[in-house]
Structure 1
Amino acid sequence: MAQTPMLLTRIEADWQRVRPGIDASPMLTYLLISRLQSALAKHVERTHRASGLSAATWDLLMTLRRSAPEGGLTPAELAGLTALTGASITNRIDNLRARGLAERSVNPHDRRSAFVRLTPAGRELADELLPVHLANETALFAVLSEQDRADLRRLAFKLLEPLERAGEK
Structure 2
Amino acid sequence: MEDEVDRLVAAWRRERPDLDVEPLEVLSRVSRLARHLDRARRLAFSEHNLEPWEFDVLTSLRRAGAPYQLSPGQLLTQTLVTSGTMTNRIDRLAKKDLVERLPDPSDRRGVLVRLTPEGRDRADQALAGLLAQERAILAELSRGQRGELAALLRRLTAPFDNIPG
Could you say which TM-score interval applies, normalised by the shorter chain?
A: 0.7 to 0.9
Residues 79 and 69 (structure 1 numbering): CA distance in 2 closer, same or farther, change over 3 Å?
A: farther
Which amino acid in structure 2 is aligned with residue 58 of structure 1?
A: F
**Cα drift, residue 123 of structure 1:** 2.0
TM-superposed deviation, 1:71: 6.8
Match of 2:124 among 123, 127, 142: 127
Instruction: Give the Cα–Cα distance (whole angstroms) in 2 for the partners of residues 164 and 123 of structure 1.
Output: 27
1:156 deviates by 0.5
Judged with a 3 Å threshold, the aligned counterparts in structure 2 of structure 1 residues 97 and 135 are, in CA distance, closer, same or farther, namely: same
Q: Which residue, 52, 56, 59 being the options, matches 2:56? A: 59
Q: CA deviation at 1:138?
A: 2.5
Residue 78 (structure 1) aligned with residue 75 (structure 2): yes
Does 1 or 2 have the higher relative contact order (CA < 8 Å, sep 6+)? 2
- Asked if 1:168 is matched to 2:161, the reply is no
Alignment-mate amino acid for residue 29 of structure 2: L
Tell me which residue corresponds to 2:154: 157
CA contact (8 A) 1:56 1:84 kept: no
Please show how residues 89-168 of structure 1 align to structure 2 within 5 Å. 89-165=86-162, 167-168=163-164
Report how far residue 150 of structure 1 moved: 0.4
Structure 2: state its 5+ residue gaps. none
> What are structure 1's unaligned runs of at least 5 residues?
none
Higher helix share: 1
Q: Which runs of 4+ in 1 moved over 6 A?
A: none
Aligned length: 165
Percent identical among aligned pairs is 36
Amino acid at match of 2:72: P
RMSD of the TM alignment (CA)?
A: 2.4
* Partner residue, 1:31: 28
* SS across alignment from 2:70: coil
The C-alpha deviation readout for 1:26-74, integer Å capped at 9, x for no partner, is 1342222111111112112211112331111111111212214427210
Per-residue deviation at 1:122? Answer: 1.3
